[in-house]
C-alpha cells in the first residue's frame, strides 16, 4: 500500500553507519510486519502485542541505555528519532508503543540508580514490561509546576495522594514514572518516583477514547505507599527530571510527525499520478504540483530541524531545550498541513473512515498537543532566544 521509506536521510552528516543500519533494518522489518495502519478492535490488546513484537525483534533496545539492556551506552536521540520516523511512516500505533517505552522509562534511564535501572529497564527493552509517564493533572497540563499530587515522607516510605490524567498506557502499564509534590508549592518542590502498577492505593480511575485510539486514561493515588528507594534523583529535582526527559523525547515527537507526513506525501504522489482528471491526471494540474512542492519542502525542513536537535544532543552534548522545541513545533505543525493536503488530494476518499489518509488525519492531531503543546514550545523557544540574546549583549 505505502511506498518504502526514503533511506537517504542517513546520508546527511548528522549520522554514522550504525544509524544507517538501524534505519534500513527497521524499515525492512516494518515493511513486512506493519502492513496496515488502520486498526480495529481492542486497542489494549493491540498495543500489548505491538510492544511484545517490537521487543522480540530487538527494536526496543534503542529505548534504554546499555546498562539496562539497551543497544548503545546512552540514549541516542538520533536513533530514537529514526525509529519513530520509520514506525510513524507505517503505523501510528506502533510508533506510540515504541515511544511510550522510551518516555515512560526515560527518567529511569537518565536519572535512575544502577539498582533502579537493573530492576526496570531490561524488561522494557525486551517488551516484557510496559512503561508510562505520569506528569499531567486535571489542573496542571502545560503549567506542570501547578501539580498538586503529593508525596509525603513517612520514615523509609512515601505516601502518595492525587490524580494524574492524559496518561498514555494507563491500564496496561506495569509501572508509572510519577511526578509529585514533596515540598514547597513551586517548581523546586517536585520529586520523581517509579510506582509499580500493582501497588495498593494506585487505581486506574478513568479510561477515555481519543481520535486516534490508543490506551489512555487517568490514574489515582489514594494513600499509595511506596518505599523511598523508588524515588528518582534527589527530592525537589523532579521538575528538572521531567524537563530533561522531555528535552530528549520532544524531538522524537517531531520525528513521528515526519514519518506521518512522509506517508501522506507518498500517498498524495501516488494518488495524483493515478487519478484521471479533466483529460489528464491530477498530477498534471499545476495546483496539485504547488501542493506537492510545498509538502516536500516542509518535510525536508522538518527533517533538518529534528536531526539538528538530535545531533546537537548526541554529538555536541549540549542542552537542546530550544532546538528540540523548534523541531517539535515545526514538524508537528508542518505534518498537519501535509496530511491535510493529502486528504484534499484524495477528495472524498480522504475523509472515508478507515482510509489511511483519514487515519493519518486523526493520528497527527494529538502530536501538536502532547509532550508540550505548540504554544508551550513557542514560549520555550522565545525564552531561550531572549536569554541567549541577553547573554550575547553582556
Query: Which residues bind to ligand COS, rule: CB under 6 A?
Result: 135-136, 142-145, 187, 239-240, 243-244, 246-247, 321, 370-372, 376, 379-380
Q: What whole-number distance in Å separates Cα of residue 377 and Cα of residue 165?
A: 21
Q: Residue 194 — φ and ψ, nearest 5°?
A: -115, 130
Shortest Cβ 325–ligand COS spacing (Å): 9
Q: What whole-number distance in Å separates Cα of residue 385 and Cα of residue 391?
A: 10
Identify whether the C-beta of residue 118 lies closer than 8 Å to the C-beta of residue 105. Answer: no
Q: Which of 139, 298, 371, 375 is catalytic?
A: 371
Shortest Cβ 229–ligand COS spacing (Å): 25
H-helix segments, the chain: 17-33, 43-56, 77-90, 92-111, 114-126, 238-274, 286-314, 321-346, 356-365, 374-393
The secondary structure element, H or E, covering residue 217 is strand 216-227
Give 69 or 106: the residue with its C-beta nearer to ligand COS: 106
Shortest Cβ 90–ligand COS spacing (Å): 23
Q: What whole-number distance in Å separates Cα of residue 103 and Cα of residue 201?
A: 24
Q: Which three cell numbers stand for residue 384?
A: 531561550
Position of cell 516494518?
30
Shortest Cβ 133–ligand COS spacing (Å): 6
Shortest Cβ 100–ligand COS spacing (Å): 10
Give 271 or 328: the residue with its C-beta nearer to ligand COS: 328
**Contacts of 345 by beta carbon, 8 Å cutoff, 6+ apart:** 268, 271, 272, 282, 288, 291
Give 29 or 330: the residue with its C-beta nearer to ligand COS: 330
End-to-end alpha carbon distance in the chain:
57
**Contacts of 49 by beta carbon, 8 Å cutoff, 6+ apart:** none
Identify whether the C-beta of residue 72 lies closer than 8 Å to the C-beta of residue 62. Answer: yes
Shortest Cβ 142–ligand COS spacing (Å): 5
Q: Is 192 helix (H, G, I), strand (E, B) or coil?
A: strand
Catalytic-residue membership of 154: no
Q: Judge residue 154's burial from the number of C-beta atoms within 10 Å of its C-beta, 0-12 exposed, 13-18 middle, 19 or more buried.
A: exposed
Give 255 or 292: the residue with its C-beta nearer to ligand COS: 255
Give 125 or 380: the residue with its C-beta nearer to ligand COS: 380
Give 243 or 296: the residue with its C-beta nearer to ligand COS: 243
**Contacts of 326 by beta carbon, 8 Å cutoff, 6+ apart:** 305, 309, 377, 381
Shortest Cβ 269–ligand COS spacing (Å): 33
Give 246 or 295: the residue with its C-beta nearer to ligand COS: 246
Residues carrying an active site annotation: 371
Amino acid at each position: 500500500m505505502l511506498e518504502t521509506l526514503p533511506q537517504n536521510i542517513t546520508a546527511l552528516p548528522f549520522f554514522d553507519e550504525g544509524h544507517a543500519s538501524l534505519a534500513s533494518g527497521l524499515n525492512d522489518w516494518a515493511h513486512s510486519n506493519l502492513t496496515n495502519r488502520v486498526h480495529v478492535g481492542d486497542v489494549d490488546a493491540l498495543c500489548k502485542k505491538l510492544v511484545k513484537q517490537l521487543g522480540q525483534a530487538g527494536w526496543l533496545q534503542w529505548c534504554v541505555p546499555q546498562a539496562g539492556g539497551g543497544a548503545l551506552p546512552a540514549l541516542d536521540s538520533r536513533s530514537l528519532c529514526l525509529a519513530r520516523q520509520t514506525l510513524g511512516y507505517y503505523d501510528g500505533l506502533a510508533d506510540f508503543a515504541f515511544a511510550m517505552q522510551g518516555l515512560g522509562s526515560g527518567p529511569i534511564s537518565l536519572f535512575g540508580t544502577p539498582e533502579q535501572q537493573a530492576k526496570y529497564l531490561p524488561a522494557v527493552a525486551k517488551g516484557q514490561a510496559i512503561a508510562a509517564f505520569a506528569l499531567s493533572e486535571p489542573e496542571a497540563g502545560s503549567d506542570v509546576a501547578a501539580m498538586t499530587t503529593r508525596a509525603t515522607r513517612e520514615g523509609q516510605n512515601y505516601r502518595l495522594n492525587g490524580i494524574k490524567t492524559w496518561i498514555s498506557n494507563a491500564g496496561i502499564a506495569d509501572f508509572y514514572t510519577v511526578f509529585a509534590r514533596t515540598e514547597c508549592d513551586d517548581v523546586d518542590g517536585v520529586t520523581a518516583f517509579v510506582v509499580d502498577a500493582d501497588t495498593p492505593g494506585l487505581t486506574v480511575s478513568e479510561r477515555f477514547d481519543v481520535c486516534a485510539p490508543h490506551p489512555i486514561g487517568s490514574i489515582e493515588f489514594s494513600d499509595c505507599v511506596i518505599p523511598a528507594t523508588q524515588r528518582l534523583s534527589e527530592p525537589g529535582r523532579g521538575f528538572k527530571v521531567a524537563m530533561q526527559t522531555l528535552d530528549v523525547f520532544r524531538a522524537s515527537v517531531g520525528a513521528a510527525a515526519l514519518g506521518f507526513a512522509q506517508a501522506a506525501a507518498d500517498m498524495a504522489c501516488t494518488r495524483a499520478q493515478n487519478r484521471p482528471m479533466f483529460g489528464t491526471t491530477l498530477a498534471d494540474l499545476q495546483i496539485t504540483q504547488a501542493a506537492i512542492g510545498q509538502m516536500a519542502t516542509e518535510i525536508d525542513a522538518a527533517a533538518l530541524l529534528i536531526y539538528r536537535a538530535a545531533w546537537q544532543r548526541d554529538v555536541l552534548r549540549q542542552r537542546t531545550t530550544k532546538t528540540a522545541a523548534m523541531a517539535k513545533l515545526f514538524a508537528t505543525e508542518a505534518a498537519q498541513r501535509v496530511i491535510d493536503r493529502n486528504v484534499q488530494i484524495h477528495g472524498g476518499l480522504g475523509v472515508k473512515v478507515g482510509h489511511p489518509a483519514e487515519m493519518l488525519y486523526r493520528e497527527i492531531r494529538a502530536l501538536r498537543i502532547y509532550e508540550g503543546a505548540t504554544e508551550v514550545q513557542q514560549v520555550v523557544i522565545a525564552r531561550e532566544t531572549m536569554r541567549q540574546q541577553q547573554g550575547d549583549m553582556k
